[in-house]
Chain A
Amino acid sequence: DSGVTQTPKHLITATGQRVTLRCSPRSGDLSVYWYQQSLDQGLQFLIQYYNGEERAKGNILERFSAQQFPDLHSELNLSSLELGDSALYFCASSPRHISNTEAFFGQGTRLTVV
């Protein structure tokens, strides 16, 4: 158990819909990262928040947005869903944004868009 909790574990929704994925980082971790893993793209970095502020952005679509709340949990919002958004979405947390530390990953949310 990494200490990072992601909910829900599975989500099935229709095209055009909007969903919210939730991540609770390890206690005390200030940094949260979101990754997408699809069969043909591997693990892709989406976005990072540190103590409530956006710190880095990767290949995140405009239809996707995220935020980190004062209690440090984070949400990833996916809207106008397309079939191609079906993937595993992982959240990770680390104590700081400096890289000399490891990141701890949750078990992921498997999103299926039908």
Chain B
Amino acid sequence: DAKTTQPPSMDCAEGRAANLPCNHSTISGNEYVYWYRQIHSQGPQYIIHGLKNNETNEMASLIITEDRKSSTLILPHATLRDTAVYYCIALNAGGTSYGKLTFGQGTILTVHP
């Protein structure tokens, strides 16, 4: 699975959009981009994933560049409860990784009042 690079930390004001970048310049054509988050010491929580097209769900939007070398997770209206570590993961669909997630260091997002 391709290596991903994320900034170690970011801040965001409550109510504003949080834009979390991820670089995955070596991603291959059949690797999905997944985002998970971990709030304090709870179990990681799935947020969203995509292959080529932009995706949106009730939690967030995922914008993937046309060359697929980077992506941005957007939390449209951040709340204090969105303070967490956010992980961007590249995952090979159907490959020998068998769906196992390789977590990096992630981005610590702090939402402040």
Binding site for B on A (CB under 8 A): 2, 4, 31, 33, 35, 37, 42-45, 48, 50, 55-56, 58, 88, 90, 92, 94, 96-108, 110
Contacts and interface: CB of A to CB of B under 8 A. Distances in A.
Interface string B42-68: 111110010000000000000000000
Given A105-B43, A106-B43, A108-B43, A56 B100 contact: yes
B44 A43 contact: yes
Given A37-B41, A43-B38, A103-B99, 9 more contacts: A31-B98, A33-B100, A44-B103, A45-B100, A45-B103, A55-B98, A56-B97, A92-B43, A99-B32
A101 B91 CA distance: 10
A58 B98 CA distance: 12
Interface string B95-107: 1111111111100
B94 interface: yes
Interface in B54-94: 87, 91-94
Interface of B: 32, 34, 38, 41-46, 49, 87, 91-105
B43 A98 contact: no
Contacts of B93: 98-100
Contacts of A48: 98-100
A45 B102 contact: yes
Contacts of A42: 103-105
Contact of B98 (A2, A50, A102, A104): A50
A96 to B, nearest CB: 7
A55 B99 CA distance: 10
Contacts of A96: 99
B107 to A, nearest CB: 13
Given A98-B94, A99-B32, A99-B95, A90 B43 contact: yes
B32 A100 contact: yes
Contact of B94 (A31, A56, A94, A99): A99
Nearest to B106: A42
Contacts of B91: 99
B94 A105 contact: no
